[in-house]
Amino acid sequence: MAVALARKTLLHEWRRFLPAVMSVGFSGVLIIVQGALLLGIVGTNALPVTQSSADLWIGFPGTQSADLGRSIDAGVSAELLVDPRVVRVEPFLMGTGDWRGPRGGGISVTLLGIDTRPDGLGLAKALSPGTRALLEEPATVLVDAGDRDKLATAVGEAAEINGQRVRVVGTTNDMRAMGGVNVVASLATVRAIDKSLAAADNVTYYLVGLRSPEAATTVRNRFSQHENRTRFEVWTAADLAERSVRYWLLESGAGVGFIFATIVALLVGILITSQTLMAAVAASTPQYATLRAIGVSFPKLRRIVVEQAGWVGAVGLAFGLAGSLFAALLARLNGIPFALGPGIMVLSGGLVLAVALLAGLLALRRLRHADPAALLR
C-alpha cells in the first residue's frame, strides 16, 4: 500500500518533485565528472605502463611513479633471461628534452624510447605495427594528436629537441601527459637526443614478457630476493600503474589539490540535493499530516517518504549518468583524460542515492512530534 501510494503521489505531484529530480541529476553529474577527471588526469602518469603489454617492469629500487624512473644496471637483462618463464626482455627509455617547432617557441617534453619491432612490448596498445615501423628511420618521432597545436608542428614537419633535428612522422592517441608532452621515438633516436641516455648500458626500465601472464607474481617474487633489492625492483604492470596513480593522487601537491576540489564539488552536490529534496518533501507535509490524522502510523509514513525519496534519487541519478556519459564523449572528442569506469559510477551513484534517502528522512523530522491537527490548518 505504501509503495503504491508513494508512486501515485509522485506521478500526481510531479511538478513539485521535478526540481528535486533535476538537483539529483546535477549532483550526480558533478560528482561523477569530477571524480573521473581526477582519476583520468593522475592516470596519465602511468600511461607508459598501461599502454604497454609487458607482464613485468624492472626499474630502480623505490621508484615512486612510472614517470620518475632512473637508470639501472644493463646486466639485469641477462639475469632475467635465465628464467625459463621469461620469453622476452626489452629496454624502455625515458628522457627529457626541449622542443622547438618550426614556428618558434619552446616546451619541455618527455622522450619515450621503445623497441620498434612489430611485436615490441613498449606502448604496444597505443601503436600499431605500421606506426612503429615509421620510427625505424633515424631522427623520427611520434606526438599525440592532441599536442600538435601545442608543439606548433604538423606531421611531416621538422623540429628540434635539445638542438637535434627530428621529423614528426605520425601521431598517437591517448598519450597526453598531465604536466607536459610525450614524444615517442626509437631507442637509438632517444639516445641521440638525450645525452644522459647515450650509453648503451643506460636503461630506465626493462620490460618483460612471460610465457604465461599468470606466472607474473611468481617470477616477480623470485627476482625480489634481498640481494637484488639494492640493484633493481620488480613490479607487475598493475602494481606499477597503481603505485604511480597513488603517488600523484595522495603524495603530490597537484593530486592533493585536486582531491580538495573534488571534495568541495561533492559537498556542493550533496547540499543541493538534500536541500531541494527536503523542500519537496516538506511541501507535502499537509498530505502526510492527513494520513497521520486518519490513523496511519509513523513507521508506515516513513516508508512512503523513503519510497518517494528513492524514486526521486533513482530517476535523477539516471539523468546524471546520461549526462556523465555525454561528458565522457565530449572529453574523448577533445582528448581530455577522463577515467569513467564502473567503479566511480557505482560509488557516486550509491552516494547520491544515500543522500536522497537521508534528505527525505530529515524532511520528516518535524512531522514526528507534530500535532496533526496543527499541521492541517
Looking at residue 45, what DSSP letter applies? G
Q: What local confidence, expressed as pLDDT, does residue 248 receive?
A: 84
Please spell the DSSP secondary structure of 232-262, one letter per residue: -EEEEHHHHHHHHHHIIIIISHHHHHHHHHH
Q: What is the pTM of this model?
A: 0.77
Asked if residue 188 lies in contact with residue 138, where contact means CB atoms within 8 angstroms, the answer is yes
Q: How far apart are CA 142 and CA 189, in angstroms?
A: 12
Cell of 162: 635539445
Q: What local confidence, expressed as pLDDT, does residue 24 receive?
A: 80
Asked if residue 62 lies in contact with residue 233, where contact means CB atoms within 8 angstroms, the answer is yes
- Which residues, other chains included, contact 10 with Cβ-Cβ below 8 Å and sequence gap of 6+? 17, 308, 311, 312
Asked if residue 292 lies in contact with residue 376, where contact means CB atoms within 8 angstroms, the answer is no
Can you give the residue ranges of every domain in the chain?
A: 2-43+252-375, 51-245
Q: How far apart are CA 215 and CA 1, in angstroms?
A: 57
Q: What local confidence, expressed as pLDDT, does residue 122 receive?
A: 94
- Which residues, other chains included, contact 305 with Cβ-Cβ below 8 Å and sequence gap of 6+? 6, 281, 288, 360, 361, 363, 364
Q: How far apart are CA 277 and CA 17, in angstroms?
A: 8
Asked if residue 114 lies in contact with residue 132, where contact means CB atoms within 8 angstroms, the answer is yes
Sign of CA dihedral 15, 16, 17, 18: positive
Q: How far apart are CA 251 and CA 262, in angstroms?
A: 16
Give the type of residue at 260: F
Question: How far is C-alpha 288 from the geometric centre of its chain's CA atoms?
Answer: 45
If you search the block for the grid coordinates 605520425, which residue do you land on?
Answer: 170
Burial class (CB in 10 A: 0-12, 13-18, 19+), 69: buried
Q: How far apart are CA 50 and CA 61, in angstroms?
A: 20
Predicted confidence pLDDT, tens digits, the chain (377 residues): 445 666 676 677 777 778 878 878 887 888 888 888 888 888 888 899 999 999 999 999 989 999 889 988 888 888 888 889 999 999 999 999 999 988 766 889 999 999 999 999 999 999 999 999 999 999 999 999 888 888 888 899 999 999 899 999 999 988 887 667 999 999 999 999 998 888 777 899 999 999 999 999 999 988 887 666 678 899 999 999 999 988 888 877 666 777 777 677 767 767 777 777 677 766 766 776 777 777 777 777 777 777 777 888 888 888 888 988 998 888 888 777 888 888 888 888 888 788 777 777 776 665 665 555 555 55
Cell of 38: 581526477
Q: How far apart are CA 353 and CA 271, in angstroms?
A: 13
If you search the block for the grid coordinates 621508484, which residue do you land on?
Answer: 63
Asked if residue 232 lies in contact with residue 59, where contact means CB atoms within 8 angstroms, the answer is yes
- Which residues, other chains included, contact 28 with Cβ-Cβ below 8 Å and sequence gap of 6+? 269, 316, 317, 319, 320, 321, 323, 324, 348, 349, 352
